[in-house]
Chain A
Amino acid sequence: MNYLKTIMPVLFALLFVTQAHARFETHDFATEQMEEDYNVLVQELRCLVCQNQNLADSNAELAQDMRIRVYKMLSEGNSKEEIVDFMVLRYGDFVMYRPPVKSTTYILWFGPLLFFVVAALVVLSYMRKQKIETKAVVDETQQKKAHSLLDD
């Protein structure tokens, strides 16, 4: 119990560590719409360095510079779509956290569904087999016997 008392303040202090790290550069936005667009874009664009993070979450230097580029482009009057197109032209569909549905990404989008269908088919065929086997256990004479027993 005593040692818990000692480490509690440390654990408590740890709560604030991520916050200290997560402080990114700040931007002044001319309009609310621009700020909203900025927030949507940094959520939807992928950090190319730490590939499982979006720009909003990443502290990588390239992600930082890409956020600044997004901000600059918005300030210059580019639309959200224009900025996404700009990034896709350079980094490919991979830069989007939600890749578009097209022939090259069909497996990505429909793969899980395919797995589900295959799994369902396997389970169904297994169940059917089980049923046939249980049916085969009771043959006709046995069934008649059972019926006559029940009738009595």
Chain B
Amino acid sequence: MARYVLLIGFFIMIGGFAYMLNLTNTGEYNPRDIPTEFIGRAAPAINVPDLYNESEIVKTSDMQGKVWLFNVWGTWCPECWREHQYLMELSRSGVPIVGLNWRDERPEAKAMITKMGNPFIKIGYDPDSSVAIDWGVYGAPETFVINAQGVVVEKHAGGVTPVVWESKFKKHFVN
């Protein structure tokens, strides 16, 4: 009897292991993902100068009343290049996106935008992680959805793709 219990326990463990491994391989589970603490809380301030216009301060409060995306990117991040075309598409279809250029040099960041297009309404320039830390960012790209009341309702670590849009973001833009 005890032997059967042990055997069943062993198979449950193997099954669980295989299940998690499969989720990891298909990209549905990221063991390094850190769940955000911001869902349901007011979005933190941005308050850094714009990438193009140093005298203009990019602010969270500017977006009050709109559902918008806050996208953290850097020229050093290959996944950011990959998601860029899709951000362009979203922007063309009317989704307001505020960018945060993270840990970059101004000329390089501008060069990437010139080359690949600008999907952002505004781009905050954050070379020393001051905004990134305030938002609990730990990698790039990361994208937050903020609702009309200024509350963070969703966050995605990794590139934005049509699948991510359909499954996580779209529902917040319906009304």
Contact = CB atoms under 8 A, between A and B. Distances in A.
Interface residues of B, number: 19
Contacts of B134: 90
Interface string B32-44: 1011111000000
B103 interface: yes
A90 B39 CA distance: 11
B133 A66 contact: yes
B48 interface: no
A61 interface: yes
Interface in B121-175: 128-130, 132-136, 138-139
A90 B37 contact: yes
Interface residues of A, number: 17
Contacts of A91: 34, 37, 136, 138
B136 A62 contact: no
A12 B139 CA distance: 37
A92 B35 contact: yes
B14 interface: no
A60 to B, nearest CB: 10
A27 B163 CA distance: 45
B132 A62 contact: yes
Interface string A44-65: 0000110100000000011001
A65 B127 CA distance: 10
A94 B34 contact: yes
B135 A51 contact: no
Given A49-B139, A91-B136, A62 B129 contact: yes
Given A65-B128, A125-B2, A48 B103 contact: no
A51 B128 contact: no
Interface string A123-151: 00100000000000000000000000000
B139 A90 contact: no
Nearest to B138: A48
Contact of B138 (A62, A68, A69, A88): A62
Contacts of B130: 65, 69
Nearest to A95: B34
A150 B15 CA distance: 58
A20 interface: no
Contacts of B138: 48-49, 62, 91
A89 interface: yes
A62 B37 CA distance: 18
A91 B2 CA distance: 43
Given A61-B129, A62-B138, A68-B128, 4 more contacts: A48-B138, A62-B132, A65-B133, A66-B133
Interface of B: 2, 6, 32, 34-38, 103, 128-130, 132-136, 138-139
10 contacts: A48-B139, A62-B133, A65-B129, A66-B133, A69-B129, A69-B133, A89-B136, A90-B135, A91-B136, A92-B34
Interface of A: 48-49, 51, 61-62, 65-66, 68-69, 88-92, 94, 122, 125
